[in-house]
A and B are shown apart, each in its own frame.
Chain A
Amino acid sequence: MSILSRVFEIQTVLDKNPIMEENYTLAKWLNNELEGEELKAFEASDDFAVYQKIKHYSAELKTPDFDDDKMLQNILKAKKSNKISIQKVFLRIAAVLIIGFGITLAVKNFANFTEFSANGATTEFLLPDNSTVLLNSGSSVEYKKWNWNNERKLKLDGEAFFKVAKGKKFEVATDLGKVSVLGTQFNVKNRNKRLDVSCYEGKVQVNYQNQQIILTKGMMVSFENGTQINAGQTDQLAPEWLQKEVNFSKENLQAILDEISRQYNIEIEYKGKLTNQTFSGTIPMNDLDVALEIIATTYHLNVSKLSDSNIVLQ
């Protein structure tokens, strides 16, 4: 039977019984709501027997069985073990990412940064406030990026030249003493027991043990073994090592040899006599033969090259 013809049949039934359309008599009867005249009339109708059977047998129908006890167990279990909703998983992932990001940020900012230059090389780098640091051979600087603009402090081991941007106090700490400045250019050299500070611009304050010395442009100061050894002058605009030369003033031989071996990244063995004779002058750091010649002539020594990187002086 096609849908159209069925609809048509329903329509004809409804037309014959206009009351049904509004009252839904069959629905009322099925729900035991039909009473009195209406019920009697319905029971007398031809179709009643069939409806009665439908009512009777439809009540006997049932759906396929299922195991509701097992479902209950599943549900009760689900709450205990499986309470991690997708949202919570998402939040956990987000938290891990945020923590990871935070740690990265913290490491970047709070951790100590170390810049260094190996023997035979120099390194130039910028601090967070764009102050420039030039590290001489075999030197290192340690500083923190965090809060740099308010606390410009770094630790120097070796020798470095600083061009400090204007701002708050800039401090260079060494094992031997502390140098603090406002905005200037200065050189700090901290080798063995000797500290040399030269000021090329502005004002530099040097604290060495209990002494405090203020350097202005062109002034130098050196301390060795707890005493100030000279307070000479420099007419240079920047330290000589930037031009591949090293200027020594009243330096002992061992310190000069140490410096040469650092600059050229070689080993120098000294087999001569111990001497207290100091040296003042400039030694080139880009021509080993000339440098050795100057030392040999000054101290009356013979130079023998065992190899390119191993030299014996006697």
Chain B
Amino acid sequence: MKSKSLSGICEELIFSNFFKSHVKALRNFMYYKFGNAEQAEDVTQEAFIKLWENCEKVPLDKAKSYLYTIANNTTLNQIAHQKVVLEYAKAAPKQDKTFESPDYHLEENEFKVKLQKAIDKLTEGQRTCFLMHRIDGKKYSEIADALGISVKAVEKRMHLALLELRKEIEYFK
């Protein structure tokens, strides 16, 4: 049984599936961390290459934490942290159709811009936690694992991030 799970990740199909289900989240995590899309992709690719090269030694159930450990330990000659540029998905469902007014779109778009600016002003730790939850749909426990902190610490960061965002948005009102 053990040898089967050990060699599992070496199967190209299994590896490809594993890659597909984790690459985006890891790349985004690195993007929040470095604030540079190119570096984030390089680190992500390197981490997956290491996993692929060492597939015999890494059991499938350990592959994810192996991946994040490698990525986290990668120290780059970091370019100064740049702005994390985010976009809104185009097909945004309307929040509440009943209150739709002529000003609605304008107002909502204004809010979106404010939210982006507010996220930009968060501390790096708060922003990373918040975006991992909101964009990548990670559970608090998963975020805690990826960052190497406790779940409680993640909750604290989320809580403070929300407080901060609200303050920032209301300030712009």
Contact = CB atoms under 8 A, between A and B. Distances in A.
Interface residues of B, number: 52
B73 to A, nearest CB: 17
B12 interface: yes
Interface string A48-60: 0011011011111
A63 B135 CA distance: 8
Contacts, number: 124
Interface of A: 1, 6, 9-10, 13, 20, 24-28, 30-31, 47, 50-51, 53-54, 56-64, 66, 68, 71-72, 74-76, 78-79, 83, 85
Contacts of A85: 53
A54 B158 contact: no
Interface string B21-53: 001100110010000010001001100110011
Nearest to A54: B165
Q: Give 3 nearest A-B pairs by CB, closest first.
A: A24-B159, A27-B158, A27-B155
A58 B24 CA distance: 17
A57 to B, nearest CB: 5
B170 interface: yes
A194 to B, nearest CB: 75
Contacts of B130: 58
A205 B136 CA distance: 96
A51 B166 contact: yes
B92 A66 contact: no
A181 B35 CA distance: 86
Nearest to B15: A76
A66 B166 contact: no
28 contacts: A9-B167, A10-B167, A24-B158, A26-B159, A27-B154, A27-B162, A30-B162, A50-B166, A53-B115, A54-B115, A54-B162, A54-B166, A54-B169, A57-B88, A58-B119, A58-B135, A59-B135, A61-B119, A62-B135, A63-B86, A66-B41, A68-B24, A71-B44, A71-B45, A72-B16, A75-B52, A83-B53, A85-B53
